[in-house]
Structure 1
Amino acid sequence: MTQLEPDFPSGYADLLDELKMRVRSARTATLRIVNTQLVELYWTIGQYVRKTQEAQGWGSAVIRQLSEDLRREFPDMKGLSARNIQYMTTFAKAWDEGPIAQQAVAQLPWGHITVLLDKQLDPATRNWYASSAVEFGWSRNVLLNMIMNKTLERSGAAPSNFAQQLVAQDSELAQQIAKDPYSFEFLGLSGEVAERDLEQKLMDRITETLRELGPGFAFVGRQVHFDVGGEDFYIDLLFFHVEQLRYIVVELKTGKFKPEYAGKLNFYIALVDDRLRREAHAETVGILICGSKNDHIVRYSLGRTTSPMAVASYTYDALPPDVRQELPDAESITAALDWTEPA
């Protein structure tokens, strides 16, 4: 903080703060423009090289020579390695319809784009991850994790009664936030685990938990207490979705789904609707996350409940312990990714 003399003109500090904010904003906008221009340049180079390769039948030797000549001409410019030029041609082929600057992918750093290219996703899936990374500001490692965990495929997949209990548009929005299964592998658990231990682990890793639940989730409380006619009741986890403006009740069960679980969740949703929901809020929904479920039993159970809810399963130990021990840890993987960043 700037130290001013006692007799310095009043209002100077406010002016300085305002100018600092404007400079930071302008620098961020400039960096964004520069990034888009760089991505557009890479896409253009890729288009020229790809089309010439297809017309002339050129192989990798030509790309290596092209890299050497361009680096000789532009010695201060990074990103002209043969490997990166090959990425450019792959990029141009993956997004073969321009103008590229008007597409979400153009707002991503080049390292993010190479992650999308390495995973060889179908066009619709690739565009979904690109748009989501832009919208939610995912880092490259978060983007990679989202792809590896099949976030798109799991989003909105949980069986629910939203279509019956909510109006059409509201139902579609609510369905989007109900994944199946949830991936809790970041907890580092294996074998049998108690419900309270699972709950504690999720709270210990709240940042990863919120990321897995999805964008818009804000944590409200754990074991949220309600007194109902002199009896005590506790909701496992309570969240608020800041985009949909609704409370979300999450109940955890480590075993297999049982029909009576839906009744208990229905009760908790009614409590939150009555005690916490305000007029501006959308209807409260519940998500029951179980160790496993029979979808036929789930659908029968949800068919008669009066509150909107979904039932999902979760995974936290996808690999056998002996296989997991052979894998590198997260820090090693991150270091390897940084080391292989295209030049």
Structure 2
Amino acid sequence: SEKELEERIIDNLQMFLLELGRGFAFVKRQFRITLDNNSYYVDLVFYHRILRCFVLIDLKIGKVNHTDIGQMNMYLNYFKEEENVPEDSSPVGIILSAEKDAFLVKYALGGISNHLFVSKYQLYLPDKKMLENKLRDILDNK
């Protein structure tokens, strides 16, 4: 089922990022955000100790569309306003899409300029190809 597939990917991804050993600290799985009496859930939340920012991961089974990107931006704004402390950097979002034969990794940067992301954040976060390959490995080992 889609839910089981999602669980397996999340389990493996959580371990994968922690094994990278590049400052990732696990915060919570299915982090609930409540806005206007509606609940939303971020699949995985990490805190990156070196970058001093939250890293939010949202998994989509199927194509990513503009509503998924808008939802991630809502999560990023929520974390910036409600979860960050003054010393924290802006949070980073990662949208992972697992389709039948295509994998997409999209970094959502919220208020972070692309230049800053490339010069600072990219040093510590896994690159898109690495994440796409990990997704492929997880799905191939059903």
Q: Is the 8 A contact 1:203 1:209 kept in 2?
A: no
Structure showing the higher helix proportion among its residues:
1
Match of 1:251 among 58, 67, 70: 58
Q: Which residue of 2 aligns with 1:316?
A: 137
Residue pair 1:219, 1:239 contacting (<8 A) in 2 also:
yes
CA gap of 1:226–1:211, structure 2 versus 1, over 3 A, is same
SS of match in other structure, 1:257: coil
Measured against aligned partners, the alpha-carbon deviations of 1:273-327 in whole angstroms (never above 9, x if no partner) come to: 11100101111110111113579xx79xx7xx85449995431358698xxxxxx
Q: Does 1:210 find its partner at 2:31?
A: no
The answer on 1:261 being equivalent to 2:64 is no
Deviation at 1:257, TM superposition (A): 2.4
Percent of residue pairs bearing the same amino acid type: 21
Question: Which structure is richer in relative contact order (CA contacts within 8 A, separation 6 or more)?
Answer: 2
* Aligned alpha-carbon RMSD (Å): 3.5
Matched residues in 2 for 1:204 and 1:275: separation? 28
Change (3 A) 1:238 1:319: closer
Counterpart pick for 1:224 among 6, 13, 31: 31
* Structure-2 change in CA distance of 1:223 and 1:289 (3 Å): same
Q: Does 1:200 align with 2:21?
A: no
Match of 2:95 in 1: 288
When residues 221 and 254 of structure 1 are mapped into structure 2, their CA distance, relative to the original with a 3 A threshold, is same
Q: Show the counterpart of 1:275.
A: 82
Instruction: Check the 8 A contact 1:251/1:289 in 2, yes or no.
Output: yes
Larger radius of gyration: 1
Alpha-carbon contact 1:225-1:233 (below 8 Å) kept:
yes
Give the AA of the match of 2:92.
V
The structure whose residues are more often strand, as a share, is 2
Q: Which structure 2 residue ranges, 5 or more long, are not aligned? A: 118-126
Count residues in correspondence.
Answer: 121
- TM-aligned CA deviation for residue 206 of structure 1: 4.2
Q: Quick one: distance in 1 between partners of 2:137 and 2:61? A: 11
CA distance in 2, matches of 1:282, 1:294: 25
CA distance in 1, matches of 2:34, 2:140: 42
TM-score, normalisation: structure 1: 0.30
From the superposition, tell whether residues 204 and 286 of structure 1 become closer, same or farther in structure 2 (CA, over 3 Å): closer
- Once residues 207 and 234 of structure 1 are traced to their aligned partners in structure 2, the CA distance between those partners, rounded to angstroms, is 20
Alignment of 1:165-176 (within 5 A): none
Say if 1:320 and 1:284 are closer, same or farther in 2 by CA, change over 3 A.
closer
> Is 1:285–1:307's contact at 8 Å kept on the other side of the alignment?
no
Unaligned ranges ≥5, structure 1: 1-192, 322-343
